[in-house]
Structure formats: structure tokens, C-alpha cells
Amino acid sequence: MPKKPEVVAEPQTLIDIDDVSVHFQLRGGSLSRLLGRDTGSVRAVDGVTIKLATGEVLGLVGESGSGKTTLGRSLLGLVQPTSGRIVYDGADIVGLSERQLRPLRTRLQMVFQDPNAALNPAMTIAEQVGHPLTIHKLASRGDVRQRVGEALERVGLAPVERFLDKYPSDLSGGQKQRAVLARAIITGPTLLVADEPISMLDMSVRAKILQLMIDLRASLNLTYVYITHDLASAKFFCDRVAIMYLGRVVEIGPTAEIFADPKHPYTKALLAAIPDPDPDRAVPRDLPRGEIPDAAEPPTGCSFHPRCPAAFELCGWERRDLKALLERHWASVPPEEYERERQLVGDIDGLDEPGGPAVVQPGRASSARDMNVLVQRLQGAAPDDPFWRGVRDIREVGSGVEVQFEDGHDPRLRPSGGVDVACHLY
């Protein structure tokens, strides 16, 4: 008897994302545009490598600005990656023209964040849900309406006759998102990129839409890329989660493992930020301080280090961290003390450039000695700040004080336990 094929075979790779980067050119001021100066670029996605297996649900999780939406859009060729390869079905789709991408569009579909904006207000539901079929000439005129009916039924917009000739403005948010889903599945796609599909919906509708997406996955054999900032829904929905920060994947692994044993300090912080319905179990919320940094000039070394509670020597400390420290300090002291200390320090805008070491020049009425005392006092005021772990030496150079930092470098994704994590701690 011939051996049956293994049911739990090695999962087939559907999409191979290989070192993909998307950089957006900054426009800059009108003067630099006139002079044609280089205005720098934003690294929305910076060297992401993910293999997506057929039938899998991958969650892309991160704060606003972490590049998760851009990565999702680049999978569909809606944004052209600056470098890297996206191999779908044995062919690289990076660099294909709109025309060459068109045949692929039946198999790669997208669900958008805002259902109120994703539907054309001037077309009826029947017209726009059936439009992919018309565009790709997949059905005759009469069949389109029937296929639309089937798709609407599948997403739970029944009785179909009530919705076919409605305009989007006649539908509720949840109904619109169902219509968007119907439009996405009508061509029978293999991959569905869902960009925060439930974040704009009412709480009561969210679970229904997620359940619908789970049902569709089973019945249509779909692969999902689920983009979200909501870890709770990712836990519910995803097989695998990739945590993104400033355009990079900092941790990726099976959902259960990530939630049970988060490795990266950023993942830990995100998990700590999930609201807990039990008021007695108040968890210590050491949320990352500050905001997500400017992606045009990301921090050196590990880009999370300025916000990281566990950062140490290797993480890539630099001048800007000293400025941030000064500003944090000044924000916490009384105004008189700030005035006094501000007089001591000269120009601190020089600390805006990336890299190290930091040289602080004293103000007009102070000396290098005063500066050194100030820096010592800063250290005395917050000795536990991770910043001091990265300081190698503080010395007076000429008229100012130079703060030298340890050499840091950029952590790469490395396997640790069942997950891959980009952190020097592992």
C-alpha cells in the first residue's frame, strides 16, 4: 500500500519577503527642493525578512509609524519597495509595473482600516463588489450579479436583495466592512492583507468581523496578514506574530510563545499596555517612555534603546540620548533650578546630530568644571537610568565636557527559544 502523503507536511511558503526596505524620500522645504538638495528619507520598512506559509495567519503588530501598514501595502505592490525581494508563486513582484501586477491582483487582496473610506460613495454595493470580476473579465454581465450575491451571502450580508442596490452611505460600519470583505474575496484570492480591519468599528461588531474572517479562512483556504496595534485581537486571531518597531521586526514567533514569554523589552512593554479588566490585578505598567522616534533619523544601534528600560552598553548610546536626559531632568525640577542650570549649559542644539561622543560647551558665566559638576549631579539624581550604563567616560576637554559612550551596534534577529528576537540580551 502506498504511503499516504504526510498531512502535517512542511508548510508551503506562499510569500517570501526577503530583506525588503521601503524608503520614502522626504520633500523638505521649498528652497531645498528648488536647489535639488538631498532631503533625506524615511525608512518606513528597513530590511524585513519573513516567510509566510500557506494557510497561516501572520500578525504584524506595532505602534503607529512602525511600518506595518507600509509592509502590508508593499506585499500587494501598492508601494514599491526600495530594495529586497518579495517572491510570490516563484516570481519576484518587486519592480513589476502596474500592468504586470494586474493578473496577480485577483489572488492578492486587501481589507482596509476605514470601511467608510474604502468603498466608492458613487457606486452601489452590487457594482463595486462585482467590479473586480468586471475588471478581470472573470464573469459575464449576468453572472456578476449572481456571484456578488454569493459573496455577500458568504460575508453575512443577507438577504442579499436588501443590499445589492444600496449605496455605501446607506450601510452601517460593520456592514460596510463586510462589503469590503466581499469585494476582497470575490475573485478567490489566496492572500488577504487585512490592515487593522476592526479598529474603526464599534466594539460590538469587532468580534463578529474577526469571527467572519476566521470562518472565511477555513472555507476559502485563505492566508492572512493581519496588521494591528491591538495585541489582544492578534492573540485571538494569529498563528504567528511579528512585532515591528521603526520599520524592523524586533521579535517574531508563534503567538502562544510570544504571549507566554515575551523576550524583547518592546514586546514586554506592549503586552503590559493591554488593559486588564480585573481592577484587583493592577500590573506594574512600565510603558516605554516618550514617543516613537523620527524614522528619518532613527537612533543609532538598537532603535528602541532610548525608550528601553533594560538597555545596556551594547545598545548604541549617542549624543541625542544626553539631550533627552537633560530635557527629562529639566522637566522634573522646579523652574528656578531649571533657570540656574540652563545658564550653566551653553548651546545644546549641537546634540541633535546622531552619533557620539557628546561635547557640551558651558554657558557664558560658567566653566568646564561647573559642567562636570552638573553632569555628575545628573547621574546622582537618576543613577538607575539606563543611560549611565552606556557612558564610558566623562572628562573635561578644553572648555567643555566630553561624554564618551560605549561602542554599540545594531542587534540582528537571532533565534532564542521558539522565537526570533533582535535584542542584545538574547
Partner 1 sequence: MAVEGAEPAVRTVTPSYRRLAQRFVSPITQTRGVARWILFAGLFITGVFVVAAIFAPWVAHYGFAQKRADGVSFPKRSAPSGEHPFGTNDQFYDVLSRVVWGSRTALLVVLLSLVASIIVGVLLGLLSGYLGGLLDRVLVLLMDALFSFPSLLLAIVFAFLLSERLGGGILAAALSLTVIYIPQYFRVVRNTTVTAREATYVEAARSIGAGRWTIMRRYLLPNVVHSVPVVGTLNAADAIGTLAALGFLGLGIQPQDAAEWGYDLKRALTDISSGIWWTAVFPGLAIVLLVTGLTLVGEGLNETINPTLRRRRLLPVTLPPRTQDERS
Q: Which residues contact partner 1 by CB under 8 A?
A: 76, 78, 98, 101-102, 105-106, 108-110, 112-114, 117-124, 127, 131-132, 135-136, 141-142, 145, 156, 158-159, 162, 165, 167, 172, 174-175, 178, 180, 183, 187, 205, 208
What's phi and psi for 395, nearest 5 deg? -145, 160
Q: Which is nearer to partner 1, 12 or 169 (CB)?
A: 169
Give residues with Cβ within 8 angstroms of 153, minimum separation 6. Answer: 160
Q: Which is nearer to partner 1, 160 or 425 (CB)?
A: 160
- Give the CA count within 13 Å in the CB-facing half-sphere of 370: 15
What's phi and psi for 95, nearest 5 deg? 90, 0
- H/E segment holding residue 43: strand 41-53
Q: Which is nearer to partner 1, 176 or 305 (CB)?
A: 176
- Nearest distance in Å: CB 333, partner 1: 45
- Nearest distance in Å: CB 168, partner 1: 9
- H/E segment holding residue 193: strand 191-195
- Nearest distance in Å: CB 175, partner 1: 6
- Nearest distance in Å: CB 120, partner 1: 5
Q: Kindly list the strands in the beta sheet with 41-53, ordered across the sheet, starting from the edge strand earlier in the chain.
A: 41-53, 13-25, 83-88, 91-92
Q: Extract the C-alpha cell encoding 239.
A: 498563528
Contact 179, 153 (CB under 8 A): no
Contact 391, 405 (CB under 8 A): yes
- Nearest distance in Å: CB 59, partner 1: 20
Say how many C-beta atoms besides its own lie within 10 A of residue 372's C-beta. Answer: 17
Q: Which is nearer to partner 1, 89 or 352 (CB)?
A: 89
CA-based max dimension of the chain: 94
- CA nearest neighbour of 200 among 271, 312, 291, 116: 116
- Whose cell is 542587534? That residue is 411
Q: Which is nearer to partner 1, 158 or 232 (CB)?
A: 158
- Nearest distance in Å: CB 223, partner 1: 16
Contact 17, 75 (CB under 8 A): yes
- Nearest distance in Å: CB 87, partner 1: 20
- Nearest distance in Å: CB 238, partner 1: 22
Q: Which is nearer to partner 1, 34 or 282 (CB)?
A: 34
Q: Extract the C-alpha cell encoding 159.
A: 438577504
DSSP letter, residue 284: -
- Nearest distance in Å: CB 331, partner 1: 37
Name residue 151's beta-bridge partners.
Answer: none
Give the type of residue at 211. Q
Q: Which is nearer to partner 1, 31 or 122 (CB)?
A: 122
Q: Which is nearer to partner 1, 86 or 358 (CB)?
A: 86
Q: Which is nearer to partner 1, 112 or 387 (CB)?
A: 112
- H/E segment holding residue 101: helix 98-101
